[in-house]
C-alpha cells in the first residue's frame, strides 16, 4: 500500500504550520456543522522523493471534515491537506490512493472527497504561463489540468473542482529577517504609510471577547462595503474561545487599531507553530487617511515574529496584477509588505458515486 491510515482523535492531532490542518480548525468547523475526523497517515517516500526506497514511509496527521448535503448523502473535505507534497508526476496517484484508503473510514453515503491542496501549482513554475511583465496568467483549462494530474493514476478519476474554497493565492513573508530588513523590503508607499500611521497617533493593541462587538461593527461595515457574505458574531466569538493559547497549540490574537478610543481597523492573527496567518481583517470607511490598516498589519507581523514564527501568511490575494480581478485592491495592499507570491493547486475531487457527484457538481456550478 502506498498510503496507510489509522484513525485518531482530532484533539490528538499534532499542531502544524498549516492552520486548516489543526485541532483548532476542526473545532471551528464542528461549530459550522461539519463532522471532523482525524487520521495518522503514512505515505511511501518514493512518492515524495524520486530516489527514495519504496519501503520507507513518512507520516503526518490528517484532518478530514464530513459535510451532509441532505439526509441521505454527504461529502468529505480535506482543508489544505495532505501536507506532504509528492513530486509533480505522483500528485494524482497519491490523491487516488489516499481516496481509496480513506473510503472505508467515511460514511457509506459519501459522494466524493475534496482536497483543498496547498501544494505549489504545477503551472506556476513554467515560463509558458507568465506574460511579458512577469505576471502569472493562471493554469490551463480544467481538462488540460486533469489530463496531467491523472497521467500516473489507475482509475483516471481525479477531477478539478468547480470552485476553490480556501485562498488559492497568497503572499508569504520571511519572518526570519530582522525588523529593519522587513521594513526595507516593503514598497516605499507601504513603508511610508506605516510610519505615517505612527505619527498620527494610531495605537494597536490586543483585545478579548469583551470587545467582540467592536470587531463586529467594523466587520459588518467592511462586508457591506465589499458586498461580502456575512458571518455571525458568534462565529468570531468561537474563534477566540476555541484557541489553545499556547505555543504547542494555536493562539488567536484579535488586534485593533484606534485613535482616541475610536476603532478604525481590526484583524484576527492566528499563530500556529511557526506560521502567523492574517485570517480576517476589517476596517471602518472613515479616517482612511490615517492609514490604520498599515499600522495594524505591521504590528501583526511584529507580534508573529516575537511569538517565534518564521513565516507570515497573508491568506489570500489575486493571482496577478489584473485590475479586473475582484481582489486586485487586496493584492496591491498585501504586495506592498514585500512578501513572495505563492500559487496553490486549489481544490480537486475524487468521486465515489459518479452519478450523485455529477448532480452535486451541476448544482454547485449554478450557485
Neighbours of 157 (CB within 10 A): 20
Domains of the chain: 3-166+345-365 (3.40.630.30), 176-309 (3.40.630.30)
- Measured between alpha carbons, how far is 95 from 341 in angstroms, rounded to an integer? 25
Nearest to 345 by CA among 113, 121, 89, 165: 121
161 alpha carbon, distance to own chain's centre: 16
Rounded to two decimals, the pTM is: 0.93
Tell me the three state secondary structure of residue 108: coil
Q: Residues 116, 42, 89, CA angle at the centre, nearest 5°?
A: 55
Per-residue pLDDT 10s for the chain (367 aa) are: 578 899 999 999 999 999 999 999 999 999 999 999 999 998 887 777 655 455 456 789 999 999 999 999 999 999 999 998 888 999 999 999 999 999 999 999 999 999 999 999 999 999 999 998 888 999 999 999 999 999 989 999 999 999 999 999 999 999 999 999 999 999 999 999 999 999 999 999 999 999 999 999 999 999 888 778 889 999 999 999 999 866 678 999 999 999 988 999 999 999 999 999 999 999 988 766 679 999 999 999 999 999 999 999 999 999 998 888 888 989 999 999 999 999 999 999 999 999 999 999 999 988 7
The residue behind cell 498585501 is 334
Measured distance between the N- and C-terminal CA atoms of the chain, rounded to whole angstroms: 39
Nearest to 347 by CA among 64, 43, 77, 37: 77
- Please give the C-alpha separations between residue 243 and each of 79, 322, 330, in angstroms, as whole numbers: 18, 37, 27
Residue 221 near residue 285, CB atoms below 8 Å: yes
The residue behind cell 467594523 is 218
**DSSP per-residue letters across 162-221:** SS--S-SEEEEEETTS-HHHHHHHS-HHHHHHHHHHHHTT-EEEEE-GGGHHHHHHHHHH
Q: Residues 277, 281, 282, CA angle at the centre, nearest 5°?
A: 170
- Please give the C-alpha separations between residue 115 and each of 80, 172, 203, 256, 263, in angstroms, as whole numbers: 7, 22, 40, 34, 38
Q: Is the dihedral of CA 49, 50, 52, 54 positive or negative?
A: positive
- Please give the C-alpha separations between residue 70 and each of 109, 161, 198, in angstroms, as whole numbers: 10, 20, 52
- Measured between alpha carbons, how far is 63 from 83 in angstroms, rounded to an integer? 10
* DSSP character at residue 101: H
- What would the 3-class secondary structure string for 243-282 be? CCCCCCCEEEEEEEEEECCEEEEEEEEEEECCEEEEEEEE
Tell me the three state secondary structure of residue 75: strand
* DSSP character at residue 132: T
Q: Which three cell numbers stand for residue 42?
A: 503514512
Nearest to 277 by CA among 313, 249, 307: 313
- Please give the C-alpha separations between residue 276 and each of 7, 10, 111, in angstroms, as whole numbers: 28, 21, 34
Amino acid at each position: 500500500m502506498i498510503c496507510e491510515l489509522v484513525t485518531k482523535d482530532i484533539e490528538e492531532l499534532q499542531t502544524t504550520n498549516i492552520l486548516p490542518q489543526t485541532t483548532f480548525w476542526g473545532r471551528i468547523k464542528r461549530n459550522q456543522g461539519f463532522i471532523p475526523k482525524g487520521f495518522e497517515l503514512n505515505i511511501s517516500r518514493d512518492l515524495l522523493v524520486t530516489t527514495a526506497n519504496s519501503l520507507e514511509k513518512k507520516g503526518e496527521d490528517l484532518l478530514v471534515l464530513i459535510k451532509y448535503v441532505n439526509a441521505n448523502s454527504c461529502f468529505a473535505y480535506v482543508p489544505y491537506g495532505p501536507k506532504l507534497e509528492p513530486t509533480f508526476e505522483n500528485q494524482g496517484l497519491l490523491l487516488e490512493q489516499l481516496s481509496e484508503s480513506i473510503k472505508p473510514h467515511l460514511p457509506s453515503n459519501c459522494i466524493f472527497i475534496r482536497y483543498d491542496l496547498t501544494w505549489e501549482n504545477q503551472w506556476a513554475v513554467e515560463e509558458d504561463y507568465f506574460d511579458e511583465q512577469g505576471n502569472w496568467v493562471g493554469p490551463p483549462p480544467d481538462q488540460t489540468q486533469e489530463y496531467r494530474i491523472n497521467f500516473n493514476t489507475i482509475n483516471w478519476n481525479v477531477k478539478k473542482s468547480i470552485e476553490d474554497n480556501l485562498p488559492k493565492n497568497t503572499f508569504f513573508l520571511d519572518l526570519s529577517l530582522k525588523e529593519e530588513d522587513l521594513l526595507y523590503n516593503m514598497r516605499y508607499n507601504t513603508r511610508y504609510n506605516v510610519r505615517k500611521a505612527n505619527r498620527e497617533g494610531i495605537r494597536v493593541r490586543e483585545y478579548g471577547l469583551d470587545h467582540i462587538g467592536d470587531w463586529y461593527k467594523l466587520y459588518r461595515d467592511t462586508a457591506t462595503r465589499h458586498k461580502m457574505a456575512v458571518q455571525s458574531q458568534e462565529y468570531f466569538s468561537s474563534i477566540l474561545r476555541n484557541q489553545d493559547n499556547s505555543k504547542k497549540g494555536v493562539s488567536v490574537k484579535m488586534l485593533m487599531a484606534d485613535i482616541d478610543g475610536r476603532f478604525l481597523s481590526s484583524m484576527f492573527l492566528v499563530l500556529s507553530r511557526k506560521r502567523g496567518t492574517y485570517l480576517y481583517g476589517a476596517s471602518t470607511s472613515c479616517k482612511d487617511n490615517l492609514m490604520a490598516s498599515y499600522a495594524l498589519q505591521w504590528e501583526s507581523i511584529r507580534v508573529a515574529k516575537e511569538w517565534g514564527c518564521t513565516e507570515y501568511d497573508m491568506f489570500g490575494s489575486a493571482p496577478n496584477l489584473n485590475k479586473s480581478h475582484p481582489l486586485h485592491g487586496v493584492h496591491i495592499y498585501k504586495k506592498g509588505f514585500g512578501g513572495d507570491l505563492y500559487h496553490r493547486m486549489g481544490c480537486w475531487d475524487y468521486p465515489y458515486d459518479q452519478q450523485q457527484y455529477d448532480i452535486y457538481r451541476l448544482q454547485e456550478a449554478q450557485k
